Amino acid sequence: MSNLSILLPFALPESGLPLSAAVQATLEQGRWSSPTPATGVEELLFQLFGVPFRPGRLPAAPLAYWGTSGEYTPHWCLRVDPVHLHARRHELVMVREPDLGLEPGEAAELTALLEHEYAGLGWRVVAPEPQSWFLFPTATPDIDTTPPGRIGEGNIDPHLPAGPEALEWRQRLNEIQMLFHDVAVNTRREDAGKLPVNSVWFWGGGRMPAAVPRSWDQVFTDDALATGLAKLTGTPLSAEPPQTGEMMELLKTQDRKLLILLSHESDDPWRQALADLIDQGADRVRLIRPDGATLVPRTTRRRWWQRFAARNGEW
């Protein structure tokens, strides 16, 4: 029985992370279970932590704010993440961080523009990190939103705000696109060969969910939403990946449930943790894709990809 789960931030076969050929082959050629229909990584995180939510009303914003800023908020808030929208054939798609490479000063300029534009509505826009913007409105919107993990690189049109106040919030998206057009910060970005931030994505609005019993004995993550969920459930948390020796000790303890979440920004230590666990964990490790599909690398498969690695000089 697996006692350590690893949530991967990417879909296969193109991970976006520079993994070794041996690990990539294991991920691509493994026998994955069927995915969960219409689920993004944000919703999957709520399911893994046992926190209930309504479709379209995923309260990710207050949890991610807690995880990013370290500040618990009792207020309703909404994520307004900076994005670049561009046309692809007959679709409109968006580019998000980390591909935008937004700097703190750039985020400060753009969020100040938003606050000034909507001062009459009492908007407060906070950016604890350049890629994570949060809106604290004076009135609670009645809208359904879609987490970006469900959209991926697809057409955004079917995922625009829905619900009783959808038209009003879609209009605000149009207004923000006009507001960001040709502003100084975007001119500088384009001059530097970067994509302009020409819109935002509304999602994850809500209030802090009620605390639930923890599902995990320990969580390793540097992801803001997962950090917030760990705090909500009182789960011991480490922002650093476990070292090889530590992982072996963790895997020996069969009655503990452990979760490692690799984020899109995961650096070499996190990728090494993934490689070591696939190498040494075998039947005690469960891999989880953002679509909910799972894979337990079997001992025989582990031996196969170790031979693959040796033959190709990977390790």
Residue 301, CA distances (Å) to 2, 17, 176, 279, 280 in order: 16, 22, 51, 10, 12
CB 79 within 8 A of CB 133: yes
Q: Evaluate the CA torsion angle 158, 225, 20, 289 in order and state its sign.
A: negative
pTM over 0.85: yes
pLDDT digits (tens, 9 = 90+) for 115-163: 999 999 999 999 999 999 999 999 999 999 999 988 888 899 999 999 9
Q: Which helix (H) or strand (E) holds 223?
A: none
Could you state, in order of their start, the residue ranges of all structural domains in the chain? 4-52+210-312, 60-206
Give every residue of the chain whose pLDDT is below 70, as ranges.
Answer: 1-2, 9-23, 244, 253-254, 263-268, 279-283, 298-315
Could you report the per-residue pLDDT of 284-296, keeping only the tens digit for each? 788 888 888 888 8
pLDDT for residue 267: 60
Predicted pLDDT at 30: 77
pLDDT value, residue 88: 85
Q: Which residues pair with 287 in a beta bridge?
A: 6, 295
Which pLDDT value is given to residue 296?
82
In 107-189, at which residue ranges do the beta strands (DSSP E only) sit? 124-129, 132-136
**Contact assessment for residue 211 and residue 232, using Cβ atoms and an 8 Å cutoff:** yes
Distance, CA of 263 to chain centre: 7
The radius of gyration of the chain from alpha carbons, rounded to an integer in Å, stands at 21
Please choose, from the candidates 216, 204, 221, the residue with its C-alpha nearest in 3D space to the C-alpha of residue 269.
221
At residue 7, the pLDDT reads 85
Q: Alpha carbon 38 to chain centroid distance?
A: 16
